[in-house]
Structure 1
């Protein structure tokens, strides 16, 4: 038969508490990282968004410059037509032809006025967009510097903790294999349901670790006997006696020191 089936209740409790100590150590490492990975991700998205905005504004400026060129060409065409119609007026045979050419000249003059007005408006748009580009570039420079700082901060933490975290996760898997599947599932369920991830806790000052609810003396005696797995009726956590907890903490601290 497999060893985990033959294990005594005390051995199961020790294995569960060891597993808890390993997983709590992993939690500590991840808490050190905290929100940094998400911060870095958000900053990367923001930087990309600013770059996209700058590119779009530059494209807008190019489009407006093209429109200005088109209007300038129109002005030159209108001026050429005015010159042409003015020359034709010198050779007209009657006032009707003269008036018709005058209307054409007047129309081209209005076209020039409108084109000049459009050019003025386009230039104002370019100035406004260039101002926004300048402001966006400043913001981009600031956000890129912030991102660089946060990335180096994250990289430093990862360099310090990644190796330890991987080793601990491997240990966590090894210790899980020593415990029967039913208990591992119960442990994981409790760990998932409690805020601080503590599924196995020692009795402290007559209450379960982190709780203010007193455990009856008779139950405390049962916990200390290590003959059955007992859970806290309020939190659902698995309870171990302080002496066992102390012994396992010392053992695991020695193991952590080697990682």
Structure 2
């Protein structure tokens, strides 16, 4: 459906109203600042630390299993040593005796090697338990910090979320009454200029937020509200101070009811 035909002055008022609404949304979001990202980063950090704890505990289980296997190997080696020792009592020649002696020697080496491995595994357990302790302390610290930041964010959201959603809906309503080419230009300018200000009033002979003076003739033309005029330096759409004052008062009354 085609948008109803409106005067240039009505277009300027609608554009400035839209700017005031979007600027209010920007203010609300600036109050939140980096908090949502901080909360997200802390959540990721806590998740990473807990994943590390899971890995460390899995490593401990593996080390315990390795120690158990080495102890079983020691018991098996001791049983074989005993068995070969008994067999040596019944050998028929030196060759058999020497062969059994080598087997006994091999099993003794197996025991020594297994005991060395058990010692190393126990040292790893001590090291990993220390890392687990430090990691748990860090998790506790990060979780406390996360809870604090979430509390801050929830408090801000509780104060501002309803207003923000109402403003976003109102912004959409206002955009429906403005022709598409102007909305496109508005969003393009808002994206490219500082503070998202696409529509600004003249202040002390210059466009709002700028130090470049606007010639008196152009200021007079802006005041007639017969033509949409942009600042040649910043590209912003310009409105006269009186129109800006009237629309600010009107929109402040609307904001107060949200």
TM-score interval for Structure 1 and Structure 2 normalised by the shorter chain = over 0.9
User: CA 1:67–1:3 in structure 2 vs 1: closer, same or farther (change >3 Å)?
Assistant: closer
Partners of 1:170 and 1:163 in 2: how far apart? 11
Match of 2:176 in 1: 177
Unaligned runs of 5+ in 2: none
Partners of 2:235 and 2:4 in 1: how far apart? 23
Match of 2:243 in 1: 244
Partners of 1:145 and 1:73 in 2: how far apart? 45
Match of 2:95 in 1: 96
Match of 1:16 in 2: 15
Count of matched residue pairs: 258
Partners of 1:169 and 1:4 in 2: how far apart? 22
User: CA 1:183–1:113 in structure 2 vs 1: closer, same or farther (change >3 Å)?
Assistant: same
In the TM superposition, residue 45 of structure 1 has moved relative to its aligned partner by 0.8
Match of 1:230 in 2: 229
Partners of 1:202 and 1:164 in 2: how far apart? 25
Runs of 4+ more than 6 Å apart: none
TM-score by length of 2: 0.97
- Give a deviation string over 1:34-90, Cα, whole Å, max 9, x none: 111111111111111101100001001100110110000000011111111111112
TM-score by length of 1: 0.97
Question: Where in structure 2 are the equivalents of 1:1-259 lying within 5 Å?
Answer: 4-5=4-5, 7-259=6-258
- Give a deviation string over 1:158-199, Cα, whole Å, max 9, x none: 111110001111111111122122211111111111121000
The farther-off stretch of 82-91 and 202-211 is: 82-91
In the TM superposition, residue 93 of structure 1 has moved relative to its aligned partner by 2.1
Unaligned runs of 5+ in 1: none
CA contact (8 A) 2:3 2:179 kept: no
